[in-house]
Amino acid sequence: MATILVIDDDTVGRETILKTLERQGHTLESASGVDQAIETIKRRQFDFVVCDYRMPGKSGLDFLVEMDALGSHVPILIVSAFADAQTEAAARKLGAIGLLKKPFRRKELLAYAALAMN
């Protein structure tokens, strides 16, 4: 199974994602924002990251930029209730494997997780 980091400032949203992935047997960690996530990534290697798009301070796109600056190639999925085609295009250009629109179905998240680990 994979080691996955979930980044979301919304506790309920973060817990929903964590529970979905936990049921699949993955090892999970979470962060409530980009800065906390970057510090976690500096200490530990991850196979997959799920990151919310809109958070206070730094966004999911900011996270993608910071990960690129670190030279990281971990697959990153952006999730958002506020996404549009432009946001998705920007996320993909910055290296995201996709953008999953909230609310999403459990199987959609699991499909991205499977894609990231192949």
Q: Are 78 and 91 in contact (CB under 8 A)?
A: yes
Q: Which residue do the tokens 């994979």 mark?
A: 2
Q: Rounded to whole angstroms, how far apart are CA atoms 118 and 114?
A: 6
Q: How far is CA 68 from CA 38, 40, 52, 93, 99, in A?
A: 11, 16, 17, 11, 17
98: pLDDT confidence band, cut at 50, 70 and 90? very high
The answer, yes or no, to whether residue 76 has pLDDT greater than 90, is yes
Summarised one tens digit per residue, pLDDT across range 6-62 is: 999 999 999 999 999 999 999 999 999 999 999 999 999 999 999 999 999 999 999
- CATH code, residues 3-116: 3.40.50.2300
Count of H helices and E strands in the chain? 5, 5
